[in-house]
A and B are shown apart, each in its own frame.
Chain A
Amino acid sequence: KAGVTQTPRYLIKTRGQQVTLSCSPISGHRSVSWYQQTPGQGLQFLFEYFSETQRNKGNFPGRFSGRQFSNSRSEMNVSTLELGDSALYLCASSLGAGGFLAKNIQYFGAGTRLSVL
């Protein structure tokens, strides 16, 4: 079974631009979560989608948005990029429903490294 796929792996943008990151979860997984990883800050939760609905949202400005499609693939969008948005963005998928194991075993992608110049 294929793992979580994130595209692109690397991205370079300039301030003020907009960017869209993509995540394809493991087949059968309905939950997709997004995280921002920066040195010293660890992983900061952005949002979680389950069956095309946002289920949880972290403490990020409205410039960060996401969506999930009917096939569970998810996209994350960042508008009006700032230098501080430079980070590794990780996507994780899980079954998302059912018992403890189904809800909580998250499988991570390799991430998208975003550099804002």
Chain B
Amino acid sequence: AQTVTQSQPEMSVQEAETVTLSCTYDTSESNYYLFWYKQPPSRQMILVIRQEAYKQQNATENRFSVNFQKAAKSFSLKISDSQLGDTAMYFCAFWETGNQFYFGTGTSLTVIP
């Protein structure tokens, strides 16, 4: 079965600094998709960034970028120039065709002013 592991339950970062959230996953498939979701304190989950496994180029969305290491089954999220609004729970997720989403247990990120 696919599993997603986020080994950092809590993290903090100073405003304007850079922080990296870790995620590893386990699968025997070669084609799949990876996501980072953000859940602010108001609880509405929103998609931050997504990566297709067959694409070698790392996805980037403004201040958010990923470091996708397929062989190592690692998918970390880098947040540059951290802002107070980045304070949230971040979930790493895995999906493959015909299957369900698998989420990690989340990393609680606090941006300190």
Contacts and interface: CB of A to CB of B under 8 A. Distances in A.
A106 B101 contact: yes
A100 B35 CA distance: 13
Most buried by A among B42, B45, B50, B93: B45
Interface string A75-117: 0000000000000101010000000100111101111000000
Given A42-B6, A108-B37, 18 more contacts: A3-B44, A44-B103, A45-B100, A45-B102, A56-B100, A58-B100, A92-B45, A100-B52, A103-B97, A104-B33, A104-B35, A105-B47, A106-B47, A106-B101, A108-B44, A110-B42, A110-B44, A111-B43
Contact of A48 (B91, B100, B102): B100
Interface in B54-100: 91, 93, 95, 97, 99-100
Tell me what chain B mostly uses at the interface: helix, strand, loop, or mixed. Answer: strand
Contacts of B91: 42-43
A24 interface: no
Given A100-B33, A104-B50, A41 B105 contact: yes
Interface of A: 3, 33, 35, 40-45, 48, 56, 58, 88, 90, 92, 100, 103-106, 108-111
Taking each of B43, B99, B102, B105, which has the highest tally of chain A beta carbons within 10 Å of its own beta carbon? B43
Nearest to A92: B45
A42 B100 contact: no
Contact of B46 (A45, A48, A103, A108): A108
A104 B102 CA distance: 12
B22 to A, nearest CB: 14
B94 to A, nearest CB: 11
Nearest to B35: A104
Between A43, A100, A104, the greatest number of chain B beta carbons within 10 A of the residue's beta carbon is seen for A43
